[in-house]
């Protein structure tokens, strides 16, 4: 069976499975410490679709009980941000007076996570914590600092571990850089 990691449109691997899992464990430890002993379980909200893989691994490594929900927002078309955030599917839980933890796979421009942070505050969250596996600080277009992150990554188009190119490569177990000179080989 041929591995997706060897696809010609994958230029290089930025983070291996081992690298990723070490960072997931580190972030899980930090969040466990933050929420240990709280009266109410925090509500972890995975940002669909990309944040689900990270959120699932993260939650399995935590030793505190949490509530879990999803939100689906769109802000990208192809390989570029539209600059607008649109809710496709909203959370199903009442967030009033709850500690909300937004989990996504990557923060780049910062627009979506900043928008989500404000959105959940307007829904009455007691607090909002932001978490991402990858932080692409060099791509920021708004002033935003993620509270917890695993890896700082370069301003390259990344795929794998939830990150995708038009829904391709999302299931790669690594984080890889796309070779746009060979992007037409993706089918």
Residues serving a catalytic function are 108
Residue among 172, 150, 153 nearest 161 (CA): 172
Three-state secondary structure string covering 119-166:
HHHHCCCCEEEEEEEEECHHHCCCCCCCCEEEEECCCCCEEECCECEC
Dihedral, CA of residue 146, residue 149, residue 152 and residue 156, to nearest 10: -80
Residue 187: C-alpha distances to residues 9, 11, 129, 165 (Å):
11, 17, 37, 11
SS3 34: helix
Residue 51 CA to residue 63 CA, distance in Å, equals 20
């Amino acid at each position: 069976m041929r591995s997706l990691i060897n696809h010609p449109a994958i230029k290089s691997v930025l983070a291996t499975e081992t690298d990723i899992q070490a960072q997931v464990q580190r972030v899980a430890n930090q969040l466990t410490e933050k929420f240990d002993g709280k009266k109410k379980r925090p509500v972890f909200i995975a940002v669909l679709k990309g944040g689900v893989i990270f959120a699932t691994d993260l939650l399995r490594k935590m030793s505190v009980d949490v509530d879990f929900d999803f939100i689906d927002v769109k802000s990208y078309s192809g390989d570029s941000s539209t600059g607008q955030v649109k809710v496709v599917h909203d959370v199903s839980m009442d967030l009033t007076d709850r500690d909300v933890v937004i989990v996504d796979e990557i923060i780049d421009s910062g627009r979506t996570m900043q928008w989500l942070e404000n959105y959940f505050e307007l829904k009455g969250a007691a607090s909002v914590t932001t978490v991402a596996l990858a932080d692409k600080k060099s791509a920021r277009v708004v002033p935003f600092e993620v509270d917890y992150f695993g890896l700082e990554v370069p301003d390259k188009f990344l795929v794998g571990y939830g990150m995708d190119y038009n829904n391709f490569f999302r299931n790669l177990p690594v984080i890889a850089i796309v070779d746009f000179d060979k992007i037409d080989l993706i089918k």
